[in-house]
Structure formats: C-alpha cells, structure tokens
Chains A and B, each alone.
Chain A
C-alpha cells in the first residue's frame, strides 16, 4: 500500500490513469455498451412463434416503422405534443424568470430559485398521481373550473397541461439565468434612445434571452418525447414512449428501432439549438 502510494506520488500520469479507470470503465462497459447493443438490436428480428430474439441482421424493423401509418401518426403526435408543451412552458416561464432576474431583491430571488427547484425533486410518480386525480371525474380541476362554466379538460388537453407542469422548472431556470446575464445598461440605453418599455422588451430583451429559451426547450422537448408513464396515466392515446414500452417485451427489435426516432429527433434538435447559441446559455 505504501509503495503504491509513493509510486502514485511520483507519477502524475499513473495517478490520472488510476483515477479514470473505474468510472470510465463503468460508463463505457455498462452504459455505452448498452446503447450500442440497443442499436444492434434494432437490426435483429423476433421469431413470431416463440417470441425469441433472433440475431438475423436486416432492415425490416425500420421498414415497418417507416411504412406503417400507425408509427408515423404516433411519432407526429408526440412531436406536436412536445412542441406545444415547449411553447406553453416558455410562456409560463418568462414572467417568473424575468421577475427573479430583474425585479426581485437578492433574498427573494434566492427563495424563488429554491421554490422552483424543490418540486423537481418531489417524486415524479406522486406528481403524476396528483395530476391523474386532479384531472379525473369529480377531480380538483373540474371543481376549480365549474364556477367558470367550464367542464373538465379532455385527455389531450389534460396531458398537455400535465407535461407543461412537469417540465416547467427546466424552462424557468435557464431563462432566469439568461435574463440575469443581460447587462442593465443595454436596457437603459434603449430607454435613453427613446424606446418605450414594450419596444425595449421586443427589440432588446427578447432577442438576447432567446438562446436561453432554446436551452430550456431542449429539456422540455426531450423529456416529452421520451415519457411513457404520463401518457399511460392521463390519456388513452399512444405516444412514442408508450409504443416502445409496450413493444419491449413482445418485440424488442422493433422497440429498439422505434427508440431511434427520439434519438434522431433530439440529435437534430441539439444541432439546431447549438447554432442558435443555446449551449452557451446552459
């Protein structure tokens, strides 16, 4: 032990290798290995009678996904939902983020950051149950809307509200950070040059905060694409996640091939987001 210790004291490279071996080994073997296996599985097929996976390489799974209308409809529905959720989150996040960044005193700001962060850690499942109960017949939302003459929302709207609720903090935090970085002098200069506050907001604040909104949208979009528990609990329709989930035991290769859809969509999304400067706003 002592000899080993003094060897490492003299050899920084050896020390580095010893530090990296276990974590990198674990992540490469367990995680990257699994992802590669998932990719490979997308090219395998399932024996129809025994449900066993046969390692017979072909592109049938991808053909099936591209040609069958069901898969296309599910993919488009999920992407549209992700877009609408992102939009709603951006609209809801802006006022509170702006208030935190530019109006609130430091003490209030600190409390608000924690208040936004805390619910993220409150059990995912419990929040899902809460929304299921609130949206249900005789639930809280119906009770809340009744005095306004409105009925309880339908499945799609309910799911949209639920997703919006779940990922909202992921939008608030980057937008808050982005707004905080805008120098106050820029906004004052805009005012000095004669712009009214609304014009300053549209022409100065919003363009400068946009990369931060894109940064937040990475989370809201990606999380909506991959979720399968909320659609199961709230709506009766199929989404990408629910299809992958229900296919996984009967037909792992098709599930693996369909899993490539969110991976590809997110890769494209990340490339575009990077161009828009979102990574610097993270």
Chain B
C-alpha cells in the first residue's frame, strides 16, 4: 500500500462526494412522484400516492406504455436473432474483415444519437415511404433493433469466448448436423448470456428517446409521451409517477442481467456495457 493515510482519507471523501452527486438526483425524482402539489418546489410539503392511481387510469399513459412494450419486444427479438448470428461468426471463425463486423455492430451506438436518428429519418422519408412503409411501429422497431444488436452481440461473444469450441467440434465429429449442434450444444451454453443480452436490449429500447423522436412520426412511446407532457403543468405529477416507474422498469432487467452473466467484468466488458447504456 503506497497511499498515505491522508491520501486514503481524501480519496474516501472524494469517492463519497462523487457517489452523492450521482445518486441525489435519482432520489429527488423518486420523492417528486409522491408530491401533493402541482409544482417542482423543493422541499416537498405534502406527500400523497394519489398520482399513481391517476397515472394508471390515464389512457395516454396506457397507450404509450403498450406501444413501448410492443416496440421493445419486437426490437429485442430482431436484435437477438441478428446478434446471435453475428456473435457465432465472429467468435467461432477466422475471416477477412472480422474487425469490421465488430465495428459495424458498435457504430449505431457510438455515433451521437441525433446522427443515427436523422439518418434513419432520411431513409424512412426518402426510401421506405415510397415503398409503402411510413412511420409506424415497424419504423420504431427497425431503429431500435439497429442499436440493440450490440448489447446482445457483446454478451454472446463474451460467453462464446469463455466456453471452448471443442464441444461443438466433438458434436460434429459424432455426426450431428449444424442445427443439432447449435440446438443441443451451443445454445444451452449461451442461454443465460442471451437472456441477459435480451433483457438489456429490452431496457435500452424501452427507455430510448433520441432515435425514437426521429423514427416514430406521430406515435408516442412512453418516453415520448413523457417528453411531450413534461411542459404541461397539469400533467406534471403524472409524468413524475411515470418517471419513477420507468426507472424501476429499466433498472430491474439490468440488475437481473448483471446477476445472470457474472462474466469477469474486464475492461472490455465494462466499456462495452458503458457504450451499450449510452442512451
């Protein structure tokens, strides 16, 4: 231990301050959900749970919630299929341009969301609309799936690198076809990693707002509903309740995913998780 006692005390204080900086805003928003008044004055004077019931009965909220869930399920399904295929190729084969695949998968989340959104909007207006696909749940799913592939891919590649490919070779030597090997050997080994990747993709999609603004047209997912109604004083308490709900819904899958994989949280894994959580 090279650090002196003073240094360690100062580091503890610095750590505590940074953690407080990170968590205080989250607690503040949680308290607002129970605020009796229609204002954002701090400290809160009266507490109530009535807004939860009102939010639950609000049709705008229900419709938006339903659309968000459908879109997130659709995007997760597409991302799972594409992410697994890409991860099998990259983790089990050597080929020219392998680095490019990882780059291509990460790109939609590495570029600022506004660029991704604007580019997709240009495609929807100029290419898809003439083909008869205008703004709908499908355009939302296409956009979300594109940036969700990376979280499935990262989890799957990490798992495939950890389990050896020799079991798959043995399976092939024993006469199994490609599908049988995948079904009975590869898939069972990947199962928890895929569940984790799927949960993360769902959380990412459920919560996404920037790209969605460009791909949703007039439809409202839950985050878009929140953004639209935040400026309306009458709706503000409902927005606060929905906000608390959204935090819980997006953190629980992530927490489960964390417990499921327990991949050694190496540098790459951590950075990838950070990139995955950008939006």
Contact = CB atoms under 8 A, between A and B. Distances in A.
Nearest to A133: B40
Nearest to B78: A26
Interface size range of chain B in the complex: 35 or more
Nearest to B115: A259
A228 interface: yes
A38 B122 contact: yes
A126 B177 contact: no
A123 B81 contact: no
Given A16-B95, A131-B25, A174-B274, 6 more contacts: A30-B142, A124-B210, A126-B226, A126-B244, A225-B112, A229-B209
Contact of B11 (A95, A126, A248): A95
A37 B126 contact: yes
Contacts of B107: 27, 31
Interface of A: 1-2, 4-6, 8-9, 12, 15-16, 19-20, 22-24, 26-28, 30-35, 37-38, 41, 53, 92-96, 98-100, 102-103, 110, 112-127, 129-134, 136, 138-140, 142-143, 165, 168-170, 172-174, 176-177, 181, 184, 187-188, 191, 197, 200, 215, 219, 222-223, 225-229, 233, 241, 244-245, 248, 252, 255-256, 259, 262-263, 266, 281-282
Contact of A226 (B115, B209, B250): B115
Interface in B124-153: 125-127, 142, 145-146, 149
B104 interface: yes
B254 interface: yes
Contact of B246 (A41, A126, A184): A126
B18 A168 contact: yes
Contacts of B247: 122-123, 126
B2 A197 contact: yes
Contacts of A127: 25-26, 29
Nearest to B83: A23
A229 B277 contact: no
A84 to B, nearest CB: 16
Contacts of A165: 21-22, 25
Contacts, number: 287
Given A37-B127, A259-B118, A122 B250 contact: yes
Interface stretch (B46-54, B56-64, B69-77, B264-272): B264-272
Contacts of B230: 129, 132, 233
23 contacts: A5-B179, A8-B179, A23-B105, A23-B149, A24-B104, A37-B122, A38-B118, A38-B119, A93-B18, A98-B11, A99-B11, A103-B3, A103-B8, A119-B26, A123-B243, A124-B207, A125-B246, A134-B25, A138-B40, A140-B24, A168-B22, A174-B271, A255-B118
B263 to A, nearest CB: 13
A5 B180 contact: yes
A221 B32 CA distance: 31
Given A117-B270, A226-B113, A124 B227 contact: no
A114 B23 CA distance: 13
B271 A19 contact: no
A170 to B, nearest CB: 6
Given A127-B25, A127-B26, A169-B274, A96 B10 contact: no
A31 B179 CA distance: 29
Main secondary structure of the interface of A (DSSP, over half): helix
Contacts of B210: 124, 228-229
Contacts of A115: 19, 22
Instruction: Determine which residue in A124, A225, A226 has the highest number of CB atoms from chain B within 10 A of its CB, and name it.
Output: A124
Contact of B112 (A4, A133, A170, A223): A223
Contacts of B271: 173-174, 177, 215, 282
A133 B29 contact: yes
A218 to B, nearest CB: 9
Q: Which of A22, A26, A92, A188 has the most CB of B within 10 A?
A: A26
Contacts of B250: 121-123
A42 to B, nearest CB: 10
B278 A30 contact: no
Given A9-B172, A27-B146, A123-B223, A129 B179 contact: no
Contact of A252 (B29, B122, B176): B122
B62 to A, nearest CB: 18
A110 to B, nearest CB: 8
Contact of B177 (A6, A134, A226, A228): A6
B86 A19 contact: yes
Q: Which residue, A19, A94, A129, has most C-beta atoms of chain B within 10 A?
A: A129
A41 B122 contact: yes
A33 B2 CA distance: 54
